[in-house]
Amino acid sequence: MTRRRTTLLTGCTALALALGATACGGGGPVSAGGGDKALSGQTVSVAGVWSGSEQKNFQKVLDAFTAKTGAKTQFTSTGDNVSTVVGSKIEGGNAPDVVMVPQVGVLQQFAKKGWLKPLSATTEKSVDAGYAPVWKKYGSVDGTLYGVYFKAAHKSTVWYSPDALDQAGVKPPTTYDAMLKAGHTVSDSGLSAFSVAGQDGWTLTDWFENIYLSQAGPEKYDALAAHKLKWTDASVVKALGTLGKLFKDKQLVAGGQKEALNTDFPGSVEKVFGPKPEAGMVYEGDFVAGVAKDQFGKAIGKDANFFPFPAVDGGKAPVVSGGDAAVVLKDGKNAKAGMKLLEYLATPEAAAVWAKAGGFLSPNKQLDFGEYGDDVSRATAKSLVGAGDSVRFDMSDQAPAAFGGTKGAGEWKLLQDFLRDPSDPAKTAARLESAAAKAYKG
């Protein structure tokens, strides 16, 4: 799953309309990386966070690259701490050729350390043709393109049990306040409203980001993500207060705050879609579907569905994304062949391989939506691509890892503390600012 690691409307068309999706951009596959086995005898080493089914599905993409170019590939799973693993490999003279980077902040860190090669003109042309400009921005540092986003996550989806909502007589809400009201109705029917994965601090950052983007707007979101706006700003305190309304309501959070802090992400999905449901809804990205399907046998679209994260205080409904960007390391033993792999990954042809396998979204608008294997995946992909430049990348992924991506520290820990005691949003904002200032300075 992308770091840290679909509605009661009938039919995919209705859902797509509800999400404001555009029609498919179309466009045929773009040839890249050759087709004449020009790289036969060469090996491209690739490192990334993926393991399990995600690694197997990405291997299908790498195998398609091999069939196209003749180059062999070797994938190594790094676990979540990509920066440390790749840094040690570079120091040891064993740098991979390509790294799938799950955080904007890490991509920027690698570029500023001089580890990355600028991408080829062929890749840049594919990005210009197939991606909304915001994706090029997130893959660039100081105007130079270093990363192409191959896999994306849609982090503005609230997943629910259709049976639970039907039993409560609740329809998917379109505002945050209506969502909390619907949650109380679900609670009155016998289930808690929300399962919250407080043990994994990254899920709490995602809650905050959706509220903040909708309530404060994209300009302040961008400023806060770059730490050009302090976390003590009134808009941050307001968003924390809005989130706190949910956290402190014992009717809404399954098991209350203490149990939420002992619930990890897979456990939060289990509380809604497992054999003994405790809640009707769970907020997280499109990858919830994979857990509900693979671990609990739920039919996506029937037994498990989603509605878009609702608008807050009259703002626009947010579209927060995450993603994995492919970069080429200068110190790789076969960086030239690695660049050819990126030329391939930038095409809809490559994205179609994983789209067919499932558990995948591509920000490439030239990928035909028909390549996705189910209606719910198609709907989330249409929402992501249809959002165009209004998509905002996960804020904590844009921050230095010490603030936005470290277990037991920075934003993850401070939002866990806020879940434990949401009574003083201003105090939490001050603590966030102190941690952010230190991390961004470093």
Q: What is the 3-state secondary structure (H, E, C) of 352-370?
A: HHHHHHCCCECCCCCCCHH
142: left (phi over 0), alpha (psi -120 to 50) or beta: left
CB 418 within 8 A of CB 198: no
Write down the pTM of the prediction: 0.84
Q: Which helix (H) or strand (E) holds 442?
A: none
CB 303 within 8 A of CB 273: yes
Tell me which residue of 188, 146, 195 sits closest to 170, measured CA to CA.
Answer: 188
CB 393 within 8 A of CB 104: yes
Q: What is the SS3 string spanning 75-100?
A: EEECCCCHHHHHHHHHHCCCCCCEEE
Which residue ranges form the domains of the chain, and what is each CATH number? Answer: 26-154+322-393 (3.40.190.10), 160-308 (3.40.190.10)
Torsion of CA 166, 289, 206, 264, to 10 degrees: 100
Return the pLDDT at 165. 97
Q: Is the dihedral of CA 163, 167, 171, 177 positive or negative?
A: negative
User: Distance (Å, rounded) from C-alpha 261 to C-alpha 269?
Assistant: 14
Find tokens 């109380």 and name the residue: 184
CB 150 within 8 A of CB 351: yes
Find tokens 């149990």 and name the residue: 259
* Beta partners for residue 321, in sequence order: 154, 393
Output the tens digit of pLDDT for each of the chain's 442 residues: 444 442 233 333 333 333 333 333 333 333 344 456 889 999 999 999 998 888 999 999 999 999 999 999 999 999 877 888 999 999 999 999 999 998 898 899 999 999 999 999 999 999 999 999 999 999 999 999 999 999 999 999 999 999 999 999 999 999 999 999 999 999 999 999 999 999 999 999 999 999 999 999 999 999 999 999 999 999 999 999 999 999 999 999 999 999 999 999 999 999 999 999 999 999 999 989 889 988 999 999 999 999 999 999 999 999 999 999 999 999 999 999 999 999 999 999 999 999 998 889 999 999 999 999 888 899 999 999 999 999 999 999 899 888 998 889 999 999 999 999 999 999 999 999 999 999 999 7
Contacts of 96 (CB under 8 A, 6+ apart): 45, 46, 47, 76, 86, 89, 329, 332
Q: Which two tokens stand for residue 213?
A: 């983007």
User: Distance (Å, rounded) from C-alpha 243 to C-alpha 442?
Assistant: 29
Return the pLDDT at 105. 87
Q: Is the dihedral of CA 114, 144, 58, 79 positive or negative?
A: positive
Kindly provide the residue ranges of all beta strands, DSSP E only, lying in 297-411, ordered along the sequence.
305-308, 320-328, 392-393
Q: What is the DSSP letter of 197?
A: -
CB 268 within 8 A of CB 194: no
Q: Which two tokens stand for residue 323?
A: 């993603």
Tell me which residue of 324, 246, 315 sits closest to 282, measured CA to CA.
Answer: 246
Q: Is the dihedral of CA 353, 359, 362, 366 positive or negative?
A: positive
Q: Which helix (H) or strand (E) holds 294?
A: helix 288-294
Which amino acid, one-letter code, is at 274? Answer: G
Q: What is the DSSP letter of 157?
A: E
Tell me which residue of 404, 415, 414 sits closest to 440, measured CA to CA.
Answer: 404
Return the pLDDT at 10. 30
* Beta partners for residue 393, in sequence order: 321
User: Distance (Å, rounded) from C-alpha 56 to C-alpha 71?
Assistant: 18
Return the pLDDT at 374. 86
